A and B are shown apart, each in its own frame.
Chain A
Amino acid sequence: MTDALLSVRNLRVEFPTRRGVLTAIDDVSFDIMPGEVLGVVGESGAGKSLTGAAIIGLLEPPGRIAGGEILLKGQRIDNLGAEAMRRIRGKRIGMVFQDPLTSLNPLYTVAQQLIETIRTHADISEAEARKRAVALLDRVGIPAAKRRIDDYPHHFSGGMRQRVVIALALCAEPELVIADEPTTALDVSVQSQIIDLIKEICAERGAAVMLITHDMGVIAETADRVAVLYSGRMAEIGPVTQVITAPEHPYTVGLMGSIPTLTQDHARLVAIPGAMPRLNAIPQGCPFNPRCEHAFDRCFAERPEPLRRGDRRRVACWLYDEVSTVEQEKANV
């Protein structure tokens, strides 16, 4: 565990409000290995984007990290000052946001934005930076990059803009790229291009990716491991193939059942009744208990801890508590 690139330990994010403190992320822990793609899924309000924002220090006040720590290659980054954090952001952790239009400045050409970013992180001349910028645009698949680099963002289509944003995120050669819903605003045909691009480029440069999305299909095709968030808690984390083909947490089971697929026929979808609780009304015990068909006494009283299931998998559900202890005893004998 010591060689993890990014290590999030018991992260807790709170929003103080007039009516009391809302805990948006509670006790979330995970590691990202160098070069790995970790998918983070969940419904809206599950805390996916907040986790990403907390890692790169872009929580909007009054939101704040109230507990836990975030380590980048063993160095704590959650308590750094604004200036030190700014140097990490962009240089060591790149960011791709959902909406490519709002993450580019409409008043500057793509060349100006790329060159500025490159020169902020590397001590090179403007001409050198420009050369590098053109090469990058070429790499992310923008045709006639040399000519188009002097265009403004509005000259580009949505898919092309997202390519520019990816180029921007990669220009300082970061070790980790946090991609927050990078394809949600795009059409399917363009979405697949962008996913392939992110995958290829990161593999080529050995950068790890934290891919935040609500689309299980995207995760299935891209990620090595997947973390399922529910109400700001980690429900399940494990290798993609295991989580998708054999989900264990009842929430993940429901989530997988409620997605219509292109290959199987369902007369009805397996819907999870109800909706995710609001932050001010998270029930005691397991946050999923009102919607869970397997809930029993313990689920209403105690918060489930992430239980180890196999080498690389953890599931926060009391259903697996006995099983895992029995298995452990067997292993000891």
Chain B
Amino acid sequence: MSDALLKIENLTRYFDVSKPWLNRMLEREEKQFLTAVADVSFEIKRGETFALVGESGSGKSTIAKMVVGLIGASEGTITFDGHNMTGTAGAEMRDLRRRFQMIFQDPFASLNPRWRVGDIIAEPIHTFGLLKGAQVTNRVGELLDTVGLSAKDAEKFPHEFSGGQRQRIAIARALSSKPEFIVCDEPTSALDVSVQAQILNLMKDLQDEMGLTYLFISHDLSVVRHMANRIGVLYLGSLVEVADGKKLFSEPQHPYTRMLLDAVPDLALSGRRRKPVEGEIPNPINPPSGCAFHPRCPLVMPRCKVDPPHRVETPTGYAACFALEKQPA
């Protein structure tokens, strides 16, 4: 347990989506809450890539934002290298903040169009007071070099770069404070496949060189399979299964994981007959009782409609499903 860099326990986040007070009074409505993340726990070990997959609305990005502290948690704790982040503030928090960074999905929105690339990359260096004067310029040049751009590009503005190059700039910025841990929120979703491959390769290389730990968030299962050591599958804010990278694909345990894998279009032209996927993700404001997946689940039992399932050990990791519990071990 001591090698866990990030530990998340019972993390929950509600959003208040009620109508304004006057409307509630006139229409006699209760306050409404949307549970974006419900009781999620997992650990990320030093040097590994942990991926979260799920469809839209499953809470992937909300977890990412809570991990880096962009939004607070409603309940639960996030522990980074032994420090409880929900309780820290001030100088101690500042020191922790240097050690984790984030790469966002859209490189067209995450870089300030009025800043030169050099200033964008140097901002974390200045913020944390890591280097001064000419050292900063050198470091920026080095970083640009690391991500496959040239030191001369520091003078340019973001609009002079293509999507893939901008994502490289975002990576250089994330690396500039010498972090140990990077949260990547859909880093390649806005890119074309040939460029996506370049960025994924770059991220893997950087991980090997610098021993980085990634929390990798994506909706693309094949990308996740390529990148991750361990994978967590989210459905409606709950973690339904966690398994070792490739095993999730060869031996999916939870019925939702199986359905998701079945739905992915196949490049191998195996001509397999896909099982038709049933239904859609329900409204998260009024999630189904018991197991949130029960209306779509082929293995549904009466118990699933009443009780939320507990975490059970599986050969590949753990999952939250009553159907798996029943099987003799």
**Do A and B come together as binding partners?**
yes
A binding-site residues for B, Cβ under 8 Å: 43-44, 157, 159-160, 187-193, 195-196, 214-218, 220-222, 240-241, 244-245, 254-263, 265-266, 268-273, 275-276
Asked if B264 lies at the interface with its beta carbon under 8 angstroms from chain A, I say yes
Residue in A196, A214, A215, A260 with the greatest tally of chain B CB atoms within 10 Å: A260
Complex alpha-carbon distance, A254 and B198, angstroms: 11
B260 A189 Cβ-Cβ under 8 A: yes
How close is A181's CB to chain B, nearest CB, in angstroms?
13
How close is A215's CB to chain B, nearest CB, in angstroms?
7
Question: Please, which residues of chain A bring their CB within 8 A of the CB of B246?
Answer: 265
A262 B261 Cβ-Cβ under 8 A: yes
- The residue that A189 contacts in the complex, of B165, B196, B263, with Cβ under 8 A, is B263
- A-contacting residues, B221-276, CB 8 Å: 221-223, 225-226, 246, 249, 259-269, 274, 276
B225 A262 Cβ-Cβ under 8 A: yes
- The residue that B277 contacts in the complex, of A193, A215, A269, with Cβ under 8 A, is A193
A269 B197 Cβ-Cβ under 8 A: yes
A188 B263 Cβ-Cβ under 8 A: yes
Complex alpha-carbon distance, A222 and B274, angstroms: 12
A262 B249 Cβ-Cβ under 8 A: yes
Complex alpha-carbon distance, A157 and B277, angstroms: 16
Complex alpha-carbon distance, A94 and B132, angstroms: 62
The majority secondary structure among interface residues of chain B is helix
Complex alpha-carbon distance, A215 and B164, angstroms: 18
B269 A245 Cβ-Cβ under 8 A: yes
Question: Please, which residues of chain A bring their CB within 8 A of the CB of B226?
Answer: 260, 266, 269
Known: A43-B193, A269-B200. A261 touches B268 (CB 8 A): yes
Q: Which residue of B lies closest to A183 (CB)?
A: B265
B280 A261 Cβ-Cβ under 8 A: no
How close is B58's CB to chain A, nearest CB, in angstroms?
9
- The residue that B197 contacts in the complex, of A218, A258, A263, with Cβ under 8 A, is A258
Question: Please, which residues of chain B bring their CB within 8 A of the CB of A214?
Answer: 192-193
Q: Which residue of A lies closest to B249 (CB)?
A: A262
Known: A188-B221, A260-B225, A271-B197. A196 touches B267 (CB 8 A): no
Contacts A/B (CB < 8 Å), 20 sampled: A43-B193, A43-B194, A187-B281, A188-B260, A189-B259, A191-B263, A196-B274, A216-B267, A217-B222, A220-B269, A255-B194, A256-B267, A262-B225, A262-B249, A262-B264, A269-B200, A271-B194, A271-B195, A271-B198, A272-B194
How close is B257's CB to chain A, nearest CB, in angstroms?
11
Q: Which residue of A lies closest to B223 (CB)?
A: A260
Complex alpha-carbon distance, A270 and B295, angstroms: 41
Interface residues of B, count at CB 8 A:
40
Question: Please, which residues of chain A bring their CB within 8 A of the CB of B139?
Answer: none
Q: Which residue of A lies closest to B281 (CB)?
A: A187
| Nearest 6 Cβ contacts at the A-B interface | A217-B265, A258-B197, A260-B226, A43-B192, A187-B55, A271-B197
Question: Please, which residues of chain A bring their CB within 8 A of the CB of B83?
Answer: none
How close is A285's CB to chain B, nearest CB, in angstroms?
20
Complex alpha-carbon distance, A192 and B280, angstroms: 12
Question: Please, which residues of chain B bring their CB within 8 A of the CB of A195?
Answer: 265
B222 A261 Cβ-Cβ under 8 A: yes
Asked if B56 lies at the interface with its beta carbon under 8 angstroms from chain A, I say yes
Question: Please, which residues of chain A bring their CB within 8 A of the CB of B249?
Answer: 262
- The residue that B196 contacts in the complex, of A159, A245, A258, with Cβ under 8 A, is A258
- The residue that A215 contacts in the complex, of B265, B274, B280, with Cβ under 8 A, is B265
A159 B280 Cβ-Cβ under 8 A: yes
Asked if B201 lies at the interface with its beta carbon under 8 angstroms from chain A, I say yes
Question: Please, which residues of chain A bring their CB within 8 A of the CB of B178?
Answer: none
Asked if B162 lies at the interface with its beta carbon under 8 angstroms from chain A, I say yes
How close is B170's CB to chain A, nearest CB, in angstroms?
16
How close is A49's CB to chain B, nearest CB, in angstroms?
14
Question: Please, which residues of chain A bring their CB within 8 A of the CB of B126?
Answer: none
Complex alpha-carbon distance, A192 and B197, angstroms: 24
- The residue that A216 contacts in the complex, of B164, B193, B197, B198, with Cβ under 8 A, is B193
B222 A259 Cβ-Cβ under 8 A: yes
Beyond contacts A187-B219, A266-B226: 11 other A-B pairs, Cβ-Cβ < 8 A, are A43-B192, A44-B192, A160-B280, A188-B260, A188-B264, A192-B274, A215-B265, A244-B267, A245-B269, A260-B200, A269-B226
